[in-house]
Amino acid sequence: MYSIDFNQNLIKGVMLIDIDTLNPHEKIIEKKKTSLAKFIKSYESYYIISSIVCCHESLLIIDGHHRYFALMELGFKKAPVTLIDYKSDSIRTGKKNPLEKKNIIDIGKSSALLEPKSTEHAVYCNKSKNWEPIILLSSMFKIETKEIIK
């Protein structure tokens, strides 16, 4: 169940994926990542986390860079991911001066990351006729914190 009305064909899958196969395109705010990792680690047996939103073809991280880097820091081998059709016109990369999706994918394949919050991905809501934060496509996952090795 999602809180917005969107083209259901956008979702290509929801699953755990090898974390090493995901491709970030932005740097993160270190303090935010550290706080999130510490917060996740504070749970004794499990934590409920929003999935990372990724392109189903390139595994580019569209939303969830801080979650991704926090899970990496904690030693997780798999990450909860919602795979989407990034090429869809129902997804935009920003309000003002949006970057081309192909350029963002190319950056994700390289080691040169954009500055934090360089993109502002949004999904079109058919009901409200507005662009909404793309995290609304995330699914909730239970991750086992007792398995944290770091």
Residue 86, SS3 per DSSP: coil
Query: Would you state the structure tokens that stand for residue 55, as one six-digit string?
Result: 């392109």
Share of the chain above pLDDT 90, in %: 86
User: 64-92: per-residue pLDDT in tens?
Assistant: 999 999 999 999 999 999 999 999 999 99
Determine the angle formed by the axes of helices 30-41 and 65-73, rounding to 10 degrees: 60
Number of Cβ within a 10 Å radius of residue 6: 21
Query: At residue 149, does pLDDT exceed 70?
Result: no
What is the per-residue pLDDT for 2? Answer: 73
pTM of the model: 0.94
Number of Cβ within a 10 Å radius of residue 31: 8
User: 96-109: per-residue pLDDT in tens?
Assistant: 878 999 999 999 99
Q: Are strands 61-63 and 78-84 parallel, antiparallel or unpaired?
A: unpaired
Q: For 8-147, give the CATH class.
A: alpha beta
How confident is the model over 23-35, as a mean pLDDT? 96
What is the per-residue pLDDT for 64? Answer: 97
Which residues does the annotation mark as catalytic? 26
Cα 60 from Cα 105, distance rounded (Å): 6
Number of Cβ within a 10 Å radius of residue 150: 9
56: phi then psi, degrees, rounded to nearest 5 = -70, -20
CB 10 within 8 A of CB 73: no
Share of the chain above pLDDT 70, in %: 97
Query: At residue 40, does pLDDT exceed 70?
Result: yes
pLDDT: is 46 or 150 the higher one? 46
What are the residue ranges spanned by the domains of the chain? 8-147
Write the CA distances from 39 to 11, 25, 58, 94, 97, integer angstroms.
29, 24, 30, 29, 35
